[in-house]
Structure formats: C-alpha cells, structure tokens
A and B are shown apart, each in its own frame.
Chain A
C-alpha cells in the first residue's frame, strides 16, 4: 500500500479534487470526511450499498427461525393451555416478528461491518486524525510513478497538506 494523502480544509476543494482525480484515473481513491456529505458521494459516484441484502436475508432467516422454534417447541411436547390449538400462529407471529427484527438488525450491522471493512485492527497508512475533526482527506493509492501527478492534482485543488505514504 502506497500512495498520496491530501488534506483539505474546504469541502468544495475536496469535491473538485475528487472529480479531477477520477478523470485522470490516478488510482483507487479513498475520501475521508468528518461527516458524511452528499457532495462527496456524488463526486465519487459509487453504486448503492449492498448492506440491504444482509438486511433482507437476515430478516427472512429471523422470521423463519422465530416461527420454527415456536411451532417446533409446542409440537415437541404438546401441552394444552387454555384450550388453544397446539401451534397457534397468531401469537407466534409476535415471536416471528421479534426474531426477524433481531436477526435482521444484527445482520445489517454485521453486513455493514463486513462490507465497510470494519473492524480494522490497526491503523494503516493514509489516515490523519484531522479527518475526524474538521478536515477532508483524499488518499490515492497509486504506483510510485503516478505519485507526482496525483500530488500535483491535490495541490492544485487546494490541499493544505500533501504527503506520500507507504
């Protein structure tokens, strides 16, 4: 992993830099921002997140498990309570729903972690503590021969600091 890191004070400067870097196909771009900004997202023009698939699958698994556990348990040892049918689907809907939410929510989070590469066990190159404060950062991963070009683009677009890291 090697590349160039640019630190920006202003949002529009970072947006402009991204646009230019993408045009120049300098390398894989990672943008840091203290808060999610639509401007940056638009500039990066990534596709929609695939987290929703985890949500869907988790939810379906959950609701299935919820109904299954309730029905299987009452069928395993059929005890009559209050003259109700042994598997009563109406109350079991509550179980199904709650387990759906539980598994769905957890799988969403785990999916998010998975696709967002979190947790990260150690800080690698290309990060600066200022990015959680007020500054924007652009990390361009590129072979050494492109570094000069990238540095130039970053500086031209108003980076307050540009540094090469490896």
Chain B
C-alpha cells in the first residue's frame, strides 16, 4: 500500500506529454500554496491593465447604446450581408471558449497530465469567452430588448420559440455550455477557495471566501464524491463541447447559402474551435507564467504538448479547408463553385489568404521541436492564430452572403467604426473579467497541482521525493524543458 521509492532508471524523453508532467522545481504542498497564492497580490501593472480593459468596455457599451438608439444601420451591414462582425465575433469567442473545456474535460478523461497546470486558466478563459460570446447574439438583434423571446418561458401569449430554428438550438447549447462550464470551473475552484480561506487574514475577504468555499474541508467524503462528480462532469462536458460548436456550425450548415450548406461543418468547426482556443491559451498563459513567475509550473514540456495539440487541430482545420474546395468542385454545383472561386481568387482573396496563412501554413512550423519549445514563437504564432481564426469566421460569414444564388444581389461589405468599437469592447469585457479573476482566484489549480507534486513520505528525506508515477529527478536548471 505504501508507495515504495524506486531509483530513477533513466531520463524519459522530455516531451512525452502523457508521462512527463513532473514539476521538478515544486517540492512540497506548502510551496504550491505559497507560490500560487502569492500571485494574487494586485500590482500596478494589473491595475493599469484593468483600467485599459474597462475603458475599452465602456467605449463598447457607449457604442452599443448608440446602436440601439439609432438602429443596426450604424454598423456596416450591407444586405444581403445581414450578418457581419457581430456574428463573426460571436463564433470567434465561442470557439475560444472551447479550449478550456477541452483541456479540463477531454484531456482529463484521456489522462493527459499536461493539462493540470493550464486547465484553470483555460477554464476561466472559457467561461469568460462564452460570456462574451453570449452577448453577441443579443447585440446583433434588430430589437435586442426582445431577446428573451428566444427562451422558452411560459407566458400568456402562448407563442414559444421555434425549436426547429438553429438559433434556438444555439440558445440551448450556449446557455447549457455556459452553465456547465461555469459549474465546472466553480466546482474545481471550491477546494482552492478553501485553501485561500484558510490562509486569509483579512476578515472580510475571509468571510467571502468562506461563503464561496461552501465550507469545504478537504475531508475524505468530500474528496470521494468530488472526484466522482468531477469525472461525470467531464464526461458530460466532452460531448457537450463537441455539440456546442456543432450547433453553432448548424447556424450555417442548416442554411442553404453556398459556402454554408456543408455537412463537413460540425467537425470542421469543432476542430477550428479547439485550435483557436489553444491559440488563445498560449496568448494568455505565456505572458502569465512569466509575469506571475510560474514558469516552473507551466513548464516548457506542457507548452510543447499543447503545441502538438495545436498542430494537430491545425492540420484538421487545413484539411477541412481543402475538403470544402474539393467538395465544391466535386459536387458539380455551379453556384458553389463560383462562390469558392470568388472567395479565394475573387472579391475576398485577402481575407481567405489571411485565413489560410494563419491557420494552415504558419502552424506547420510546429513540426519543429525547437519552435515548439520557443515561447516567443509560440506567443507570436498564437496571435496569428487568433487573427486567422477571426478571419476564418469572416470568410465563412461574409463572402458567402455576399455571393449567393441571386447575382443581382451580389454585394460587398465593410465594417464601420461601430463594429470595430463593439469588437474592441468585447475584448475589454473579456479582459476585465479575466483580470479580475486572476487576482481573486488562483490561476493554477492548487489542489490538482498537488496531485502531481510528490507527497511527503516518512520513508524519504524531504529533499528527494517521488511523484505519482514513481519517478522523480532532482531539480536542476539543466533539466530538459526548463530552458526558454
């Protein structure tokens, strides 16, 4: 029963994600608490960042009020391009919101250990991204004050939503996803909040943490049901995360618009969503681990493993792009063919090539191990991926609508400052929540990190520990994966 220590036999290859998740520089549970809770202290830079985010948000809100008062005409809509930046950004944020649940749920089920240190961050990102995304369907409505008509609530008129409409599916999928991922995040946070509570000296904060921690005590009963519930939540979230972006893709695939009406859309969208989500995780986690001094938690090995996932999804997405073309050609449907020619070599070539470059070509660099382990490159690439994925949705939404069946109604589209400032406001909204989150709650799951930190044992001195896999190497700066 007791864990026996075995001598270290050989150094594993440093970048096998499922096995090599050790945190050589983390030696004890106390260290985990100390270091992670220390990141919660606000800094000047954080206040500045928060200020910028709130400013952007306020600009977005002001613009929205203007838009509600005047009408949607202030945005760049150019019928028949009836959907524009707002729906693009909606899909963009929903996509971002997929990485968190993927990392916390799917990789959990797959026992991919590298998720442990990044999942909290990704999950918080998910929740806030879905919160951001959820605004856009309301924001793009002609009469946003009537948005609740999409929700099936009992009322005297007895008209209910049309359950055959993909938009109602969207409502269900997004609300379910938001609820479940928020629950998931919160449930995972409870033991950590308990840890914060136990450390806190400020009575008010302690009180708040007490309430939020629900009186969590780390007892065996709690842990037993917790782990089981967490597993089921993960098991639910896995099909959910696949379904959500499938449903979002139905918004397009169920329509008969050329360029939308394709059975490939659900897997294509899911892969794209995960791809974009991992891109955003890189964008967030790489600066964060540096600023918070958490490089020995989120090790280069973890990033390397995530980069491989990124590469894989990029390949899936690239395949989907090519399949779309092929299907358009093979279908013999002239409308479809003309649309794809127009998309890539016609009116919208620039958007299509931004998309192809950022999502299909640049990520190929991740085949190189050196670049995978170069955080600077990963960060730059992640920015390109974010851009590329926004443009992917642009390419799906706008060119299709602008080049439909009816040639007389072919048109163009150009967003106005209203679109851009609401887009900016959405980043402000997201950043505000995220910044607030990282200073109130640990961005690395304290309790879960402890699972991969070797427990202190009587049979060993405190200096040499083993990990759950029975392996451990002493920390040294030369340990592969620790260099940047």
Do A and B share a direct contact in the complex (Cβ within 8 angstroms)? yes
A-B interface pairs (CB < 8 A), number:
216
**B2 contacts across to A, CB distance below 8 A:** 12, 15-16, 39
**A15 contacts across to B, CB distance below 8 A:** 1-2
B158 within 8 A of A: yes
Chain B residues touching A, majority SS: helix
> B162 to A32, Cβ gap below 8 A?
no
Which of B40-48, B69-77, B194-202, B407-415 forms part of the interface with chain A? B194-202
Central interface residue in B163, B175, B187, B243, by most chain A CB within 10 Å: B163
> B164 to A91, Cβ gap below 8 A?
yes
B450 within 8 A of A: yes
Residues A116 and B180 in contact in the complex (CB < 8 Å), given A91-B163, A129-B199: no
B225 within 8 A of A: yes
> B152 to A109, Cβ gap below 8 A?
no
Central interface residue in A84, A104, A108, by most chain B CB within 10 Å: A108
> B1 to A33, Cβ gap below 8 A?
no
Residues A118 and B216 in contact in the complex (CB < 8 Å), given A12-B2, A82-B164: yes
Expressed in whole angstroms, the Cα–Cα distance for A39 and B468 within the complex equals 11
Expressed in whole angstroms, the Cα–Cα distance for A132 and B215 within the complex equals 12
Expressed in whole angstroms, the Cα–Cα distance for A117 and B184 within the complex equals 18
Pick the contact of B229: A79, A84, A112 (CB < 8 A): A112
**B66 contacts across to A, CB distance below 8 A:** none
**B456 contacts across to A, CB distance below 8 A:** 9-11, 134
Across the two chains, which residue of chain B brings its CB closest to A85?
B164
Residues A39 and B187 in contact in the complex (CB < 8 Å), given A88-B164, A94-B172, A116-B225: no
Pick the contact of B232: A52, A95, A121 (CB < 8 A): A52
**A40 contacts across to B, CB distance below 8 A:** 220
> B164 to A84, Cβ gap below 8 A?
yes
Expressed in whole angstroms, the Cα–Cα distance for A149 and B172 within the complex equals 58
B191 within 8 A of A: yes
Across the two chains, which residue of chain B brings its CB closest to A115?
B225
Chain A residues touching B, majority SS: helix
> A108 to B457, Cβ gap below 8 A?
no
**A111 contacts across to B, CB distance below 8 A:** 229
B13 within 8 A of A: no
**B179 contacts across to A, CB distance below 8 A:** 102, 105-106
Chain B 226-247, CB-CB to A under 8 Å as 1, else 0, gives: 1111001100110110010001
**B180 contacts across to A, CB distance below 8 A:** 101-102, 105-106
> B219 to A32, Cβ gap below 8 A?
yes
B169 within 8 A of A: yes
Across the two chains, which residue of chain B brings its CB closest to A31?
B220
A60 within 8 A of B: no
> A134 to B29, Cβ gap below 8 A?
yes
Expressed in whole angstroms, the Cα–Cα distance for A9 and B184 within the complex equals 31
Chain A 47-65, CB-CB to B under 8 Å as 1, else 0, gives: 0110110010001000000
Across the two chains, which residue of chain B brings its CB closest to A100?
B236
> B225 to A132, Cβ gap below 8 A?
no
Across the two chains, which residue of chain A brings its CB closest to B450?
A35
**A74 contacts across to B, CB distance below 8 A:** 163-164
> A34 to B450, Cβ gap below 8 A?
yes
B292 within 8 A of A: no
Pick the contact of A119: B214, B239, B243 (CB < 8 A): B214
Expressed in whole angstroms, the Cα–Cα distance for A44 and B455 within the complex equals 18
Expressed in whole angstroms, the Cα–Cα distance for A134 and B28 within the complex equals 7
Pick the contact of B222: A13, A91, A118, A158 (CB < 8 A): A118
> A120 to B229, Cβ gap below 8 A?
no
Chain A 12-46, CB-CB to B under 8 Å as 1, else 0, gives: 11011001000000000111111111011111101
**B198 contacts across to A, CB distance below 8 A:** 129-133
> B176 to A95, Cβ gap below 8 A?
no
B183 within 8 A of A: yes
Residues A98 and B226 in contact in the complex (CB < 8 Å), given A104-B236, A127-B217: no
**B160 contacts across to A, CB distance below 8 A:** 73, 76-77
Interface positions, chain B 271-285, Cβ under 8 Å from A, are none
Residues on A close to B: CB < 8 A?
9-13, 15-16, 19, 29-37, 39-44, 46, 48-49, 51-52, 55, 59, 66, 69-70, 73-74, 76-77, 79, 81-82, 84, 88, 91-92, 94-95, 97-99, 101-102, 104-106, 108-109, 111-113, 115-123, 127, 129-135, 139, 158
Smallest CB-CB A-B distances: 9 pairs? A120-B215, A129-B198, A134-B29, A119-B214, A112-B229, A35-B450, A49-B228, A132-B195, A11-B455
A-B contact pairs, 28 of them (CB 8 A): A11-B455, A12-B458, A16-B2, A30-B221, A34-B29, A36-B226, A36-B451, A49-B225, A49-B229, A69-B163, A77-B158, A81-B164, A84-B164, A91-B163, A94-B247, A99-B176, A101-B180, A101-B236, A109-B187, A112-B225, A115-B225, A118-B215, A118-B222, A130-B198, A132-B197, A133-B30, A134-B30, A139-B219
Question: Apart from A115-B225, A118-B215, what are 7 other A-B pairs with CB-CB below 8 Å?
Answer: A32-B220, A36-B451, A39-B2, A51-B225, A98-B176, A123-B215, A132-B33
